[in-house]
Structure 1
Amino acid sequence: MKYIEQIKSIVLLFLVLLSIVLTFSIWTYTPSLQVIEESSQVDQLMVGKKKNLQEVIKPYRILVRDRGEWKGTIGSTAINDLMDILPNWKGSELIPVQNNMSIKKMNDFIRMDQRITFFFSEEVPIKVFHSIVPFSQDDLPELTFNKLIMDWSKVDSEKVLTVYFLSGTHRTLYSTEIKMNEVYFQSTVLQALEGLVAYQEVERSNGLSLYVPKDEIELVQYTYYIDEIHPDTFRDILFYDPAIVRKNVESQELLKYTDGMTLMTVDVKNRYLNYVNPSTESMAELPASRLLLDSFEFVNEHGGFTGDYRLTSINEQKHIVEYQLYKQGFPVFSTDTTTRITTTWGENQLFRYKRPYFLLDLDINSEKSQRKVSPGLSAVDVLEKSKQLQLNEVDDIILGYYLKQNDNNLLFTLEPGWFALSQGSWKRIAPEATGGGKNGLE
């Protein structure tokens, strides 16, 4: 027992040294981490191809005024060509031109010779359009426009194309200049506008003018086999943890997906879904530019623009952004807005997402037929005789397609015709204006 104290000291010394060695090892240890290859990361589920901004923020009509005559687009060819050109340009500083423009001044401004007017369905935030056509200044104001007007009267003499941004809602006018020579302008812009058809202005006493094709138009009526994206794919995209989502078959025409917090209902007959996350609802003020960019990026992230969808509506108060389906350059309308993609933004994330999940990709050649659509003034005449909608209440009269679901639920027919737009909703002008025999509006 006489060595017991010495043994304790040796053991204590050993433990102290061991503690020092272990502490040093921990401090100096560098784990051998394997680099994660990009290809090993989980791929984002996609239902379609991603698109550029100019493919979604796209005009529905381009109108040219020159030598006292009107010409305009039918279909998408010229519109697509010009929208592809715009990102190659650069605007100078944005200059305010006029506020509180009267309706007469706006009509007169568009009516001037050597001007090209792009008609957009909704007011486009200039901060978002900056992503399509950059400006020399970065601190752009929070302004919007629904008509872009190109004045080429100075291209020959001063090598400058003046571009105006007109807001019909706010009645403001801004301008910028783009350096451009006549040869380039002729070979790009004017060449893209070859093949336009004659248009006619319909003047109104208390409203902006309407513009319609002057002559009879021949459009193709299409019939499509229905393809679709399975709703389970959207379950996997939209829900935080798809593994815990329960699928309930409510009826032959209604499915429900829920994880207890969020809900997705599926209208099987119309192939339309409605996803909502109540916990994210918010009424905090959002500028139109942020609202639009958040909406576009969300839908585009999973390739959600599964057709020619174009911006058609922004509601800042309700945080709603809508995109309308187009086919062959014409808007496609249906009952219950089943041809629109709608997003509602909440607390820094999506609150609601409504959209069709059908695809119009394969048309039946044998079912195609030519339909003659009467001149625009015929549609105007029907409107003036109708008691449902006054001409001064109409925002525009446009050619489009009505989506008709066939009885077997496997085919969709696109019937061409005239449509009147008013306060964000549409009315189908009855077949008399397209050569049929029924009066009034549908």
Structure 2
Amino acid sequence: MKERLKTAALLVLVLGSLVQSYFLIYRLPGSDSVVQAETPYIKTEAMGPDEKAENLIYPKKIIIHLGGDKHTVFYPEQMFYDLVYNRLKGREFDSFQRRTVNNMDWTKLRASSKGIELSFGSGMPVTLLQKVMQIKPDSLFEGESIDKMWLYSIDGEPKVHALFFSTEGDVVYEAAQVDLTVQDVHQLVDFGRDWVPYTMEDDASFYLPEEQLSMVSLELPIGMYTVEQMQRSLFFDPSITRNIRERDGSEIYTDSKRSLQVDEKQNWINYTDPAAPPSGDSSPGKDVLSAIDFVNQHGGWNGGYRMSQSKDIEDRTMVEFQQYHRGYPILNTPDFNYGTMKLELQNGTVTSYERSLLYVETDEQKKKIVKLAAGDKLREKIDIMSKKMKIIDLEPVYLPLITESGLWLRPAWAVQLPNGSMKVIE
């Protein structure tokens, strides 16, 4: 009996020692945990679903050059877009050589050669593109961001040219080793032969359809995250926040370090953490991954998105994610803030986070096919606009409008201006 009591007492002492050791290592007041989490952000209340970086990285459109100055354009979620992009993702690109853009007549080459042009918009860090494509590591090339990738063949040549255009504007990189044959490129190009024909405009900055483009006008049921949910998601201790009402009607919640500004008219939030500690090394690619991780941990994703911008401004990185539906971007307008998430990072740490409180449900309602203008009718409208502003691109978009029953997505054409803003063609 005594031996059993001794054994029991010894077991209690051992367990007590283990518990005490745990608190000394992991819960010592005033010190950090010895074991660091893989992510710098703490998982908070689950609102929207998480998303993987690979699902946010893809071209905004694929332009097919058919030769003979004939072209067409594929948009995300279209069958041929997926076929072309998925095949290219499985091919290898290696041994990059740097060249200057001015050495080639690109307009003539687009018109005369067969090829595939992947447009990424404002720029895609190469390190992110390596997550979805088989691009071999290259110390010089990896530090770049590209706005387009172009594969083409020239009649009489046995090789495929694979070019990656830097956002710097005067530099292009060519992969000397490409896991594609001329026949491979021609097969992919042939997918566009019976598609909507597009004309390359005189300055070769955008392509205009010669036949009407079909899109679906629809409504989506909506919900709205509450301010309390966002507080619990963004503040370590929401109970110590205080509320300040601004003259413009917006409200600010702050814990003296961080602030959450809520625009109730627009259902839009702007979270700032100017005292966020620096985390050391950063790069455009790493900052985008940090931004994705932050959204995963603080609100999640309320629909499909594409990484549309990663731009360095002095010691900051601006990252923007564009919301898509049925393969087309939902346009953020001055009258209705919706369709984007914007983050600002310093040294890899998020210091600003903007997003809508609204989210959409998946059930589509009141669907109707709409034909967008094309050919000379569209060209005339663009010509009028081009006299007042420089146009660098043309895109089919969804214009979001709030109705009594939800969010109406109205199809429209929009032009992109040099500063990145979009203007709807009425």
Tell me the TM-score normalised to structure 1 length: 0.75
**Runs (5+) with no aligned partner, structure 1:** 1-25, 431-442
Q: Which moved more, 1:213-222 or 1:173-182?
A: 173-182
Alpha carbons 2:250, 2:262 under 8 Å: kept:
yes
Deviation of 1:262 (Å): 0.9
Pair 1:403-2:403 in alignment: no
Are 2:142 and 1:145 equivalent residues in the alignment? no
Contact 1:397–1:419 at 8 Å: present in 2 too?
yes
Overall identity of the aligned pairs, in %: 18
Question: Is this contact kept in 1: 2:146–2:165, CA < 8 A?
Answer: yes
Alignment of 1:343 with 2:343, yes or no, is yes
Counterpart of 1:12 in structure 2 is: none
Structure 2's unaligned 5+ residue stretches are: 1-12, 27-36
Distance 2:317 2:287 in 1: 7
Q: Which one has a bigger Cα radius of gyration?
A: 1
2:231 equivalent in structure 1: 235
> AA paired with 2:81?
I
Hey, what's the Cα distance between the residues in 2 that align with 1:181 and 1:386? Answer: 42
Aligned amino acid, residue 119 of structure 2: F
Secondary structure of 2:394's partner?
strand
Residue 244 of structure 1 aligns with which residue?
A: 240
| Distance of aligned partners of 1:67 and 1:254 in 2 relative to their CA distance in 1, 3 Å threshold | same
- The within-5 A match list for 1:255-294 is 255-280=251-276, 287-294=283-290
Query: Aligned letter for 1:237?
Result: S
Q: Note if contact 1:333-1:402 (Cα within 8 Å) is conserved in structure 2.
A: yes
The one-letter code sitting in structure 2 at the alignment partner of 1:236 is R
- Whether the aligned pair in 2 keeps the contact of 1:110 and 1:149 (CA below 8 Å) is no
Q: Is the 8 A contact 1:319 1:344 kept in 2?
A: yes
Cα deviation for residue 353 of structure 1 reads 0.1
The residue that corresponds to 2:18 in the other structure is 31
1:57-206 equivalences under 5 Å are 57-68=57-68, 69-77=70-78, 78-96=80-98, 98-101=99-102, 105-141=105-141, 142-151=143-152, 162-167=161-166, 169-176=168-175, 177-180=177-180, 189=188, 196-204=195-203
What amino acid is aligned across from residue 31 of structure 1 in structure 2?
L
Aligned counterparts of 1:301 and 1:89: Cα–Cα separation in 2: 33
- The RMSD of aligned alpha carbons is 3.7
SS in 2 for 1:47: coil
Distance 1:85 1:299, change over 3 A: farther
Look up the SS of the partner of 1:294 in the other structure: helix
**Once the 2 structures are TM-superposed, how far is the Cα of residue 389 of structure 1 from its aligned partner?**
2.9
Which of these residues, 288, 310, 314, is aligned with residue 314 of structure 1? 310
Specify the code of the residue in structure 2 equivalent to 1:395: I
Aligned to 1:324: 322
1:44 Cα deviation (Å)? Answer: 5.0
1:369-408 correspondence to structure 2 within 5 Å: 369-386=368-385, 389-390=388-389, 393-406=390-403, 408=404
Any idea what SS the aligned residue of 2:301 has? Answer: coil
Q: Counterpart amino acid of 1:401?
A: Y
> What is the letter of the counterpart of residue 405 of structure 1?
I
Separation (CA, whole Å) in 2 of partners of 1:127 and 1:316: 15
Number of positions where the alignment pairs a residue of Structure 1 with one of Structure 2: 384
1:424 aligns with 420
The SS at the match of 1:101 is helix
The TM-score, its normalising length taken from structure 2, stands at 0.77
For 1:135, the aligned partner's letter is I
